[in-house]
C-alpha cells in the first residue's frame, strides 16, 4: 500500500508539474531575487526545528530515561522527514525504536505522543484552513487569534484526558504548532512574491495550513502530490489563480526536498556516531 501511495503521489506531482508549466507565466521570474530561494530554504529548516521542539516538548510528559535533548529530537525529526519519503514508514518506526533503545521510551508511548501531536496539529491547521470559509475577510485575524486562544485553553483541559496522563504545558503544543503554521505560510507567501503575485499573508497562511494538513494525514509519503493539488483546490476560494498556487506548491516542494535530504543525511550520520560512541 505504501508503494502504491508513493507511485500515486509521484504521478500526481508529474501531472501537477505538467499543468503548472502550461498555466504559469514565467516572465515575472526575471525580477526574482535569488536570496529569496535561500530564505525559503531557511524557512524549511525552521519548520524542521519547530517540529522537533514540539515532539521534544511532548516527550517531557512521558517516560524517557534519560531525557531526550532538543538537538537529538530535531535530528530524529530531520532523519524521519527524509526516510518518510521512502515507500515504507521507515522514519516513523525508526524514531520509535531509537527512543526505545536509547531513552527507554515504550513504543506504545511513542504512538501516544504521535497521536497527541497529530491531534493538536489537526486542530490548529484545520482551524486556519477553514477560517476563509467561515469568517469575513476583515475578521480573519481577530477570529483566528480568538480561536487559537480558545484551542490553547481547551487543550489544557482536554489533552491530559485524551492521553490519560498529566501533560506538561499543554497549551504550548498549540503555540508551537501555530508558529510552525505561520512559518509554512511564510514559505508560500515568499514564493508567490518571487513569482510576481502579491497577496495578503493571511491568504498564504490559509494555503500553507491546508497543505500541511493534507501532508500530516500521511496518505502519500510527506503528502507527495496530494499537497500540491490540495493547495490548488484551496486557492479556488481565495484571490489567487489555482495554477499559480499549484506552481508555488511545486516550487516549495523542489526547495524542501534538498533541504530535508541534507539535514536528514547529516542527522543520520550524527545519530549513528552518537550510537557508536555510546557503545564504546
Nearest-CA neighbor of 53 among 124, 145, 117, 123? 117
Calculate what percentage of the chain has a pLDDT beyond 70: 91
State how far the Cα of 160 lies from the Cα of 8, in Å rounded to an integer. Answer: 38
State how far the Cα of 264 lies from the Cα of 83, in Å rounded to an integer. Answer: 8
The model's pLDDT over 171-215, given as tens digits with 9 standing for 90+, comes to: 999 999 999 999 999 999 999 888 888 888 999 999 999 999 998
pLDDT at 278 over 70: no
Q: Nearest 5°: CA angle at 188, between 194 and 33? A: 20
Nearest-CA neighbor of 253 among 90, 17, 80? 17
C-alpha cell at position 170:
499543554
C-alpha cell at position 27:
516572465
Calculate what percentage of the chain has a pLDDT beyond 90: 47
Please give the backbone phi and psi of residue 146, each rounded to the nearest 5 degrees, phi first: -60, -40
Task: Report the pLDDT value the prediction gives residue 176, as an integer from 0 to 100.
Answer: 95
pLDDT at 3 over 80: no
With 0.85 as the threshold, say if the pTM is over it: yes
Pick from 24-28, 48-52, 79-83, 204-208: least confident: 24-28
The model's pLDDT over 251-269, given as tens digits with 9 standing for 90+, comes to: 999 999 999 999 999 998 8
**What does pLDDT average to over the chain?**
86
Please state the separation of Cα 122 from the chain's center in Å. 11
Nearest-CA neighbor of 220 among 79, 76, 27, 12? 12
Residue 161, judged by CB atoms within 10 A of its CB (0-12, 13-18, 19+), counts as exposed
pLDDT at 280 over 50: no
Strand locations in 153-196, DSSP E? none
Amino acid at each position: 500500500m505504501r508503494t502504491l501511495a508513493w507511485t500515486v503521489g509521484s504521478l500526481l506531482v508529474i501531472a501537477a508539474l505538467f499543468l503548472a508549466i502550461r498555466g504559469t507565466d514565467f516572465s515575472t521570474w526575471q525580477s526574482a531575487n535569488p536570496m529569496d530561494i535561500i530564505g525559503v530554504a531557511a524557512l524549511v529548516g525552521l519548520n524542521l526545528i519547530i517540529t522537533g521542539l514540539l515532539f521534544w516538548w511532548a516527550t517531557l510528559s512521558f517516560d524517557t530515561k534519560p531525557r531526550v535533548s532538543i538537538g537529538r529530537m530535531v535530528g530524529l525529526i530531520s532523519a524521519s522527514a527524509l526516510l518518510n519519503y521512502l515507500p515504507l514508514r521507515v522514519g516513523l518506526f525508526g524514531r520509535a525504536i531509537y527512543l526505545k533503545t536509547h531513552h527507554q521510551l515504550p513504543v506504545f508511548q511513542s504512538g501516544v505522543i504521535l497521536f497527541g501531536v497529530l491531534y493538536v496539529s489537526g486542530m490548529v491547521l484545520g482551524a486556519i484552513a477553514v477560517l476563509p470559509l467561515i469568517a469575513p475577510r476583515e475578521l480573519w485575524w481577530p477570529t483566528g487569534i480568538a480561536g487559537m486562544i480558545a484551542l490553547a485553553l481547551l487543550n489544557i483541559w482536554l489533552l491530559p484526558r485524551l492521553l490519560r496522563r498529566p501533560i506538561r504545558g499543554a497549551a504550548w503544543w498549540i503555540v508551537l504548532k501555530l508558529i510552525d503554521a505561520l512559518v509554512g505560510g511564510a514559505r508560500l507567501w515568499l514564493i508567490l512574491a518571487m513569482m510576481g503575485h502579491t497577496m495578503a499573508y493571511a491568504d498564504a497562511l490559509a494555503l500553507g495550513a491546508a497543505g500541511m494538513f493534507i501532508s500530516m494525514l500521511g496518505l502519500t509519503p510527506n503528502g507527495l502530490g496530494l499537497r500540491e493539488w490540495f493547495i490548488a483546490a484551496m486557492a479556488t476560494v481565495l484571490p489567487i489563480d489555482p495554477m499559480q498556487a499549484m506552481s508555488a506548491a511545486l516550487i516549495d516542494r523542489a526547495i524542501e526536498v534538498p533541504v530535508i535530504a541534507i539535514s536528514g543525511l547529516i542527522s543520520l550520520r550524527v545519530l549513528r556516531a552518537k550510537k557508536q560512541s555510546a557503545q564504546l
